[in-house]
Amino acid sequence: MFEEASEVFDNMFKSSFPLTFIVFIPAVLILVSPLPAEAAHEFTVYRMQQYDLQGQPYGTRNAILNTEARTVEAEVLSRRCVIMRLVDFSYERYQKALRQSAGAVVIILPKNMSTMPQDIVQQFMELEPEMLATETIVPVYFALEDDELLSIYTQTLTSSSSQGSSSAAEVLIHTATANGFQMVTSGAQSKAVSDWSITSLEGRLAGTGGEDLPTIVLVAHYDSFGVAPWLSYGADSNGSGVSMLLELARLFSRLYTYKRTHAGYNLLFFVSGGGKFNYQGTKRWLEDNLDHTDSSLLQDNVAFVLCLDTLGNGDSLHLHVSKPPKEGTPQYALLKELETVVSSQYPEVKFSMVHKKINLADDTLAWEHERFGIRRLPAFTLSHLNSHREAQRSSIMDVRSVSPSSRHGAGEHPAGPHVDLRKLSRNTKLIAEALARVIYNLTEKGAPGDLQIFTEQMQVQEEQLSSVVDWLTAQPRAAQLVDKDSSVVSTLEYHLGRYLKDVRRHYVKADKRDPEFVFYDQLKQTMNAYRVKPAIFDLLLAVCIAAYLGVIYLAIQHFGVLYSLVRRITAPKTKQH
């Protein structure tokens, strides 16, 4: 048969050249064409942070992966993709995977973070900065769990934990029946994003009564931070600060529309970007206003700068300062007014001043007011957190709300970081009252401590606060994801424009030669999980097929024997006819 076949091909080659083309070129093309394959499961994964801050790299450096999946229990982890669930996650396991030079790590997070128990949330929050601090070349991805992913995980778990513990026969059977998974990402390698501009917004309310009025600046940063940029919603830190700022803007613009309540202070509101990356927005804004323009509200008489950071929860308020305010200064007045308001109107709130000197040797500044302090502007930050090192300031666990079932008993600390709307509105009212007392000089005029200004029509609107926080936490607001055309920025601009005048945008781009911050792309990928069989399976199958073919060959060779056998079996039947 081969001779005849080769005759045919010979004729084809010799006689007509185009014919060979027609036959061979498509064959070659098909051979080398890349294959689109269907995956067992396709899901979105979010990469861990990757950024450089002041030349120091953080986070994972790699984005592509094409490796087999294993779980931590497996013995051989090198060049494999290690899958972990959040409930089983611990730093030792993570380190173990990295030490054995795993190919990648995928951490599966539950779909609804608010159902996680408190201790796991707390543990993960504390691990986030550690994970980021160690620069890894291994890509680390986070995926939200769904049924298919869970089944992939359990299958991988059973196959990983049974390795090396059974006999050869079991291993053979195991290779035939079990499923391995190959995880492949579809994107490219990550590279630095050039020309990323961080946007900040400012607006003002001008005071009445002549030139050279003192200015009060209210600042809040709107970006969020977490171990994965696409998963950082930043509800309490700093969605609460931004919503409070907008509410204060609304209240004071209302007061300022009436001549009788128009005060003699300029109010400058600043919503800054890049806050979690060492307050880049604020830094450049200060440079532009103080160094590069001739006249700015910041250059003249600044009474104080109040930064709002993480005020959506908790029963304590801390006023963080870098220098304790001296008596007779407006800062001191604010401090006193805050104490007065707290003691007379909100006795359940514990108020204190926290004094921390600016340490320029640190990698990053602690609070936002330190940026102003460096430029010799009197500033403080209000927060319900005691220390800037609290894990919840930069965690993906900071969500809008947590389910009541995940809280423990009444006496214990409630569940992970979230925004409690009543406390947020209480804090807003508290701060508004204190500011009003400073602006209108109420204590000197003899107003009692429990005089409430913001009541009835001037009330703090909880629905407004709630809707702003809900909108802010509906999308991730990491600085790498909010560019100048983003809807977050334009909506904030619109909101500020409703209450304030002279709303302006301010852009920060990293310096070309010595960039303060560098962001990288490929933060969200589609990962495919392909069902694969181990290589031994192919060999096993080949052996089986060879045996089968051998049997067929023998059967056909000795077909006569088989035929006579069948005839002998059926013969008695025909004989009976």
Partner 1 sequence: MTLFHFGNCFALAYFPYFITYKCSGLSEYNAFWRCVQAGATYLFVQLCKMLFLATFFPTWEGGAGVYDFVGEFMKATVDLADLLGLHLVMSRNAGKGEYKIMVAAMGWATAELVMSRCIPLWVGARGIEFDWKYIQMSFDSNISLVHYIAMAAVVWMFTRYDLPKSFRLPVTVLLGLCVYKAFLME
Residue 549 engages partner 1 in binding (rule: CB under 8 A) = yes
Residue 32 interacting with partner 1 (CB under 8 A): no
Nearer to partner 1, 175 or 243 (CB): 175
Q: Please tell me whether residue 553 binds partner 1 under the rule CB under 8 A.
A: yes
Task: List b or e across 234-270, with b for residues whose CB sees 16 or more CB atoms inside 10 angstroms.
Answer: bbbbbbbbbbbbbbbbbbbbebbeeeebebebbbbbb
Task: Identify whether 528 is preceded by a cis peptide bond (ω within 30 of 0).
Answer: no
Residue from 15, 32, 38, 575 binding partner 1 (CB under 8 A) = 38
Q: With respect to partner 1, which residue has the nearer C-beta, 10 or 315?
A: 10
Among 29, 32, 35, 569, binds partner 1 (CB under 8 A): 35
Q: How far is the CB of 528 from partner 1 (least distance, A)?
A: 9
Query: CB of residue 2 vs partner 1: minimum separation in angstroms?
Result: 9
Query: Which range touches partner 1 (CB under 8 A), out of 148-156, 245-253, 408-416, 556-564?
Result: 556-564
The nearer residue to partner 1, 332 or 537, going by C-beta atoms, is 537
Pattern of binders to partner 1 over 39-78, x per CB under 8 A?
xx--------------------------------------
Told to check if 565 binds partner 1 by CB under 8 A, we report no
Q: Which is nearer to partner 1, 31 or 410 (CB)?
A: 31
Residue 474 vs 542, nearer CB to partner 1: 542
Q: Which stretch binds partner 1 (CB under 8 A): 45-53, 108-116, 179-187, 205-213?
A: 179-187
The two three-digit tokens of residue 329, written as one number: 């200064």
- Residue that is written with structure tokens 């930064």 in the block: 307
- In this structure, the number of other CB atoms found within 10 A of the CB of residue 542 comes to 10
Instruction: State which of positions 521-540 bind partner 1 (CB under 8 A).
Output: 530-533, 538
SS3 labels along 497-564: HHHCEEEEEEEEECCCCCCCEEEECCCEEEEEEEEECCHHHHHHHHHHHHHHHHHHHHHHHCHHHHHH
With H, G, I as helix, E, B as strand and everything else as coil, classify residue 383: strand
Residue type, 159: S
According to the binding rule CB under 8 A, does residue 566 interact with partner 1?
Answer: no
Q: Which of 76, 87, 536, 552 binds partner 1 (CB under 8 A)?
A: 552
Given 184, 206, 353, 447, the residue binding partner 1 (CB under 8 A): 184
Q: Determine contact, residues 230/282, Cβ cutoff 8 Å.
A: no
Angle between helices 91-99 and 118-133 (to 10 degrees): 40
Nearer to partner 1, 37 or 137 (CB): 37
Contact status: 405 vs partner 1 (CB under 8 A) = no
Residues in binding contact with partner 1, number by CB under 8 A: 28
Q: Which is nearer to partner 1, 83 or 228 (CB)?
A: 83
If one asks whether residue 556 binds partner 1 (CB under 8 A), the answer comes out as yes
Decide: helix, strand or coil at residue 288.
helix
Of the listed pieces 255-263, 372-380, 488-496, 549-557, which binds partner 1 according to CB under 8 A? 549-557
Burial of 410 (0-12, 13-18, 19+ CB in 10 A): exposed
542 touches partner 1 (CB under 8 A): yes
- Residues 35 and 184: their CA atoms lie apart, in Å, by 14
- Alpha-helical regions (H) of 258-411: 280-287, 330-345, 369-374
Q: Give, as ranges, the residues between 189 and 208 that touch partner 1 (CB under 8 A).
A: none
390: tokens are 């609290």
Give the span between the Cα atoms of 240 and 393, in whole angstroms. 12
Residue 130 corresponds to which tokens in the numbers above? 């550690």
Helix (H, G, I), strand (E, B) or coil at 347: coil
Question: Where along the sequence are the contacts to partner 1 (CB under 8 A)?
Answer: 1, 4-5, 30, 35, 37-40, 179, 182, 184, 530-533, 538, 541-542, 545, 548-549, 552-553, 556-557, 559, 577
